[in-house]
């Protein structure tokens, strides 16, 4: 007697494909990260002392968390600075990435070279450029340039663009935000390579028949973007926002302080408590951004 094949619905097939997709990550997390994460949580409530035989763990309760939040003079300030920079930089990175991806998706000569140029900072960031940025060289150059500038205003405060926005009645805080975007242009371009690649993949997956039908109906390019392009790639906007948040926080001042506390001051328990506070704060921000953006995401079946 032959067994009949089980027929799965389209929804079930997608569900099982999703399970197979995350299975390698889950296996890696279970065997490589789960045990260190539990040990880190245990160390955050303990005091680690290095001795001749290795190290000893002594219970410390919530003392490490109290030191990090109420006694350490830098941690709360660095944590606040990291969150503020994340809130400012992530929207700029996502908007620039989407704008650049739309331009690079057009047909023109040298398109492949242009795409490579925009992705080049991602490759360079893993080599000498990253070492220079991680050191004090870039900060010294910027500090020297700041000292040479006249007055308290930077060069960009005198741009005609800023004057035009101010005279047009634009709020002063919005003008400062745009000027800050101009000053952060190097960082924005450097951190946008992967996001541009993701947006490009999403744009190329949109069926051309949708744009042909819109042209027949008399839609302009502006209307096609907001009615077709933007809704179709809205899931990738959520993906890039989450990726940009995590990527921007990996090199934040808080991350550097956590690393220095563990491997320079050898306060492993305090470092673990700082890391867990940081993890909770990042999780809250990710949950808020995901909740706000997911309401506007359009999933095309």
Distance CA 20, CA 291 (A): 25
Distance CA 251, CA 273 (A): 18
Choose the weakest-confidence range: 7-11, 73-77, 224-228.
7-11
Choose the weakest-confidence range: 98-102, 103-107, 243-247, 270-274.
103-107
Q: In terms of pTM, does the model score above 0.95?
A: no
Query: How much of the chain exceeds pLDDT 90, in percent?
Result: 4
Residue 84 confidence (pLDDT) above 50:
yes
| Per-residue confidence (pLDDT) for residue 110, from 0 to 100 | 72
Contacts of 286 (CB under 8 A, 6+ apart): 242, 245, 246
| Per-residue confidence (pLDDT) for residue 276, from 0 to 100 | 92
Average pLDDT, the chain: 78
Which residue, among 105, 107, 89, has the nearest Cα to 240 in the 3D structure? Answer: 89
Segment 179-199, tens digit of pLDDT: 666 666 777 777 788 888 889
Distance CA 252, CA 89 (A): 12
Mean pLDDT, range 213-242, rounded to an integer:
87
Higher-pLDDT residue of 39 and 113 is 39
CATH architecture of 56-294: Orthogonal Bundle (1.10)
Sorted by where each begins, the domain ranges of the chain are 56-294
Query: What's the chain's length in residues?
Result: 301
Segment 40-80, tens digit of pLDDT: 888 888 887 777 776 777 888 888 899 888 888 889 898 88
């Amino acid at each position: 007697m032959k067994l009949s094949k089980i027929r799965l619905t389209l929804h079930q097939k997608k569900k099982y494909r999703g399970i197979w997709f995350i299975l390698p990550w889950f296996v890696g997390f279970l065997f490589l990260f789960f045990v260190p994460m539990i040990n880190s949580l245990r160390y955050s409530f303990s005091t680690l002392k290095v001795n001749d035989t290795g190290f000893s763990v002594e219970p410390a309760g919530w003392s490490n968390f109290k030191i990090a939040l109420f006694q350490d003079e830098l941690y709360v300030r660095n944590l606040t600075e990291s969150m503020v920079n994340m809130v400012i930089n992530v929207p700029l990175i996502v908007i620039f990435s989407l704008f650049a991806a739309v331009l690079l998706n057009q047909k023109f000569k040298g398109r492949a070279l242009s795409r490579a140029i925009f992705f080049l900072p991602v490759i360079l960031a893993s080599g000498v450029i990253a070492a220079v940025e991680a050191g004090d060289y870039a900060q010294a150059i910027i500090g020297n340039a700041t000292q040479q500038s006249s007055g308290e205003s930077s060069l960009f405060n005198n741009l005609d663009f800023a004057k035009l926005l101010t005279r047009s009645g634009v709020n002063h805080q919005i003008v400062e935000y745009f000027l800050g975007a101009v000053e952060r242009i190097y960082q924005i371009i450097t951190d946008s390579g992967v996001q541009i690649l993701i947006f490009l993949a999403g744009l190329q997956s949109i069926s051309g028949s949708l744009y042909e039908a819109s042209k027949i109906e008399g839609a302009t390019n502006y209307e096609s973007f907001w009615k077709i392009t933007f809704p179709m790639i809205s899931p990738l906007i959520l993906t890039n926002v989450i990726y940009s948040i995590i990527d921007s926080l990996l090199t934040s001042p808080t991350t550097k302080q956590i690393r220095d506390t563990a491997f320079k001051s050898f306060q492993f328990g305090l470092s673990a408590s700082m890391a867990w506070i940081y993890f909770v704060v990042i999780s809250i921000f990710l949950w808020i951004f995901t909740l706000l953006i997911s309401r506007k995401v359009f999933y095309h079946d």
